[in-house]
Structure 1
Amino acid sequence: MIDRVLREKDWTLSTLARRSELSVSTLHSWKSGDRATGNRGPNPDKLRQLAAGAGLTVAEVFEAAGRHVPVAIDDEEERRFLHLFRTLDTEDRRVVEATMQAMRERQKSAR
């Protein structure tokens, strides 16, 4: 994908790095496949930076990196979840967090 962006926009890796606010070495590692695989994969925030800098959708970049494509959450849904979470006591908040972490790991392993 990085090669395609460079070719289509006639950019250098340095140009893409500057526009994405990422280091050239990070982009080079992703481009060569050194850091594009594994159980963790590229950092999601950095993938978002790449998408913004390259003028691509987040979904396109996450798919190319082999990462779970984040699903958008609207403000109302986020507000409802946060309201419910705030009504819980500390112990229940920990249970919710642990459950969400387990669900996230299950999604990762399913890929």
Structure 2
Amino acid sequence: MDDLAALIERVMDEKDWTLSTLARRSGISISTLHSWKSGERATGSRGPSPSLLRKFAAGAGLPVVEVFEAAGRHIPASMDEESERRFLHLLRSLDQADRSVLEATMQAMIERQRS
């Protein structure tokens, strides 16, 4: 399995694309792709956001799961509009103290999935 830097190299080699072409096709800045390619921000808690990884997958014509695995990330489940609406309704009904607890809990869950 490729890491993200190797995956970027492979895509560029297989498609004969420059980093600029990959950036244009994915809608991600060249500087961001360069930092991933150099390994500066390719994995871990400072790594790419799920939305950028999805953009990269679409632009490179790769399965989302392959890109997330290369970045060492758990693939977040998609959420339909109705589920999001219900979730936000519940969130808005909490007071600030409970929102803080929920945010900390969710952050801990995300960190656990990354390790």
TM-score (norm 2): 0.74
> Unpaired segments of 5 or more residues in structure 1?
none
Structure 1 segments, 4+ long, off by >6 Å, are none
Query: 1:106 and 2:112 equivalent?
Result: yes
**TM superposition shift of 1:98:** 2.0
Distance 1:14 1:97, change over 3 A: same
1:63 aligned to which of 69, 77, 86? 69
TM-align CA RMSD: 2.2
Q: Deviations over 1:58-84 (max 9, x none)?
A: 332111111121111222322222222
- Looking at both structures, which has the greater relative contact order when contacts are Cα pairs under 8 Å and sequence separation is at least 6? 2
TM-score (norm 1): 0.76
C-alpha distance in 1, partners of 2:43/2:21? Answer: 24
Alignment identity in percent?
72
**TM superposition shift of 1:50:** 1.3
Q: Deviations over 1:11-52 (max 9, x none)?
A: 222111111222333323322333323442223333232122
Counterpart of 1:45? 51
> Unpaired segments of 5 or more residues in structure 2?
1-6
